[in-house]
A = this chain, B = another copy of it.
Amino acid sequence: VATRSEDLGREPTGRTVAGHPLVLYRTEDGEPVALDDRCAHRGFPLSRSRLVGDNVQCGYHGFTYAPSGVCVQVPAQPDVPGRVRVRSFPAVERRPFVWVWTGDATTADPAEIPDPGWIEEDWAVLTGVLRINGSWHQMHDNLMDLTHLTYLHDGVGGTGRYAETPPDVTTRNGRVRVERRIREDGPGAGWALGLDTAVLRHATTEWRSPALILADVVITPDPPENAPDRSATIRFFHAVTPESPTTLTYHWALARDFMVDNEELTERTLDQTVTAFQQDVEAVEWIHQLRRDFPPAEPAEVNIRVDGAGLRVRRIIADILAEEDADISNSTISNGAPE
């Protein structure tokens, strides 16, 4: 994920994806374009330049590039040498996000991008983006082990039950799935259902690719006989995009299918989410700073049972990287992997 849909328009915008500085913009028809952010001539950033129709014109000497990356105009001579071009990257919009493929363009497969139906049209949706000075691996660790809700997010939606409850972990087709079923019976446990009842919270996290983690919390009455048809779902979309081995962008969305018109609830959810995700950012950045300033002796980490899901993810990423051609960007990113 390179940007939110709402952050992309007719102004060239700079983003960094997997070691590639990119300029992003929309054509006059609204189609997303992603080009190398460096003019082929002297390396001036095209994200500091201007659009001329569907083309981007370098703000330094006017080299002008079409969405294909081909240069169509240079200064002080009528002909454009054929070698003048910048790399163009496949870009596809799946609202509320825009996806970019930085690998071999011939292997880009939009079918790998999650079905845009993953959030129903009538759900209440929030989105956000965070930039983090840390390793994307640490962000994966964070998302794959929700016991941190009990401690890191204590007071903002955290609950002691996550740390108490060992998860079920399954792997299929390169996807890693973590599930917990947590019973909550305190006062107000059934608020999302509008019922004064205990509930079962079925929390699922699915790591689908290095770029995407989807998570659901489905709340039902416990026992179900209380109200067999009632359920409430909260759905998270976590897109962890490495910029470099030590920086990353984290795009998120959060949707719910209940009380969708309750704006006070939407605002409160946004407040809590921003607070909690900021705690995640701090955790990842503090860990990164300690590692950077004081390289740890081996072993740098110990693992317990709850780390099973995160370790499977690391293994899958290591396998993907090993399979790929050792091109510059990939080797750059792989260097950031924990040992």
Q: Which residues of A contact B (CB under 8 A)?
A: 16, 19-21, 37-38, 40-45, 48, 57-62, 74-77, 81, 83-84, 138, 141, 145, 147-148, 150-152, 162-167, 244, 282-283, 286-287, 290-291, 293-294, 296-297, 300-307, 328
Collect the chain B residues with CB atoms within 8 Å of residue A76's CB.
147, 163-167, 304-306
* Distance from A336 Cβ to chain B, minimum over Cβ atoms (Å): 14
* Distance from A88 Cβ to chain B, minimum over Cβ atoms (Å): 15
> Which listed residue (B60, B74, B141, B163) contacts A42, Cβ 8 A?
B141
Collect the chain B residues with CB atoms within 8 Å of residue A151's CB.
57-62, 75
> CA separation between A76 and B37, bound complex, in Å?
46
> CA separation between A286 and B304, bound complex, in Å?
46
Do A150 and B75 have beta carbons less than 8 Å apart? yes
Q: A43-B291, A60-B283, A75-B306 are in contact. List 19 more A-B contacts (CB 8 A).
A: A38-B296, A41-B302, A41-B304, A42-B141, A43-B296, A44-B286, A45-B286, A45-B290, A57-B151, A58-B151, A59-B151, A74-B306, A75-B151, A76-B147, A76-B166, A76-B306, A77-B304, A84-B304, A244-B293
> CA separation between A287 and B287, bound complex, in Å?
32
Task: Report how many copies the assembly holds.
Answer: 3
Collect the chain B residues with CB atoms within 8 Å of residue A61's CB.
145, 147-148, 150-152, 163, 306
Collect the chain B residues with CB atoms within 8 Å of residue A297's CB.
328
A60 with B290: in contact, given A304-B77, A305-B76 (CB under 8 Å)?
no
Q: Which of A21, A61, A141, A152 is packed against the most chain B CB atoms within 10 Å?
A: A61
> CA separation between A294 and B306, bound complex, in Å?
37
Do A81 and B304 have beta carbons less than 8 Å apart? yes
Do B150 and A302 have beta carbons less than 8 Å apart? no
A300 with B44: in contact, given A76-B147, A77-B305, A150-B62 (CB under 8 Å)?
no
Do A43 and B300 have beta carbons less than 8 Å apart? yes
> CA separation between A172 and B282, bound complex, in Å?
50
A304 — nearest CB in chain B belongs to which residue? B74
* Distance from A201 Cβ to chain B, minimum over Cβ atoms (Å): 16
* Distance from A262 Cβ to chain B, minimum over Cβ atoms (Å): 32
> CA separation between A57 and B74, bound complex, in Å?
57
* Distance from A194 Cβ to chain B, minimum over Cβ atoms (Å): 31
Collect the chain B residues with CB atoms within 8 Å of residue A20's CB.
294
Do B60 and A152 have beta carbons less than 8 Å apart? yes
Do B147 and A62 have beta carbons less than 8 Å apart? yes
> CA separation between A162 and B60, bound complex, in Å?
13
Q: What are 9 residue pairs bridging A and B, where the CB atoms are less than 8 Å apart in the complex?
A: A21-B294, A40-B301, A41-B302, A41-B307, A42-B138, A43-B301, A48-B286, A59-B151, A244-B293
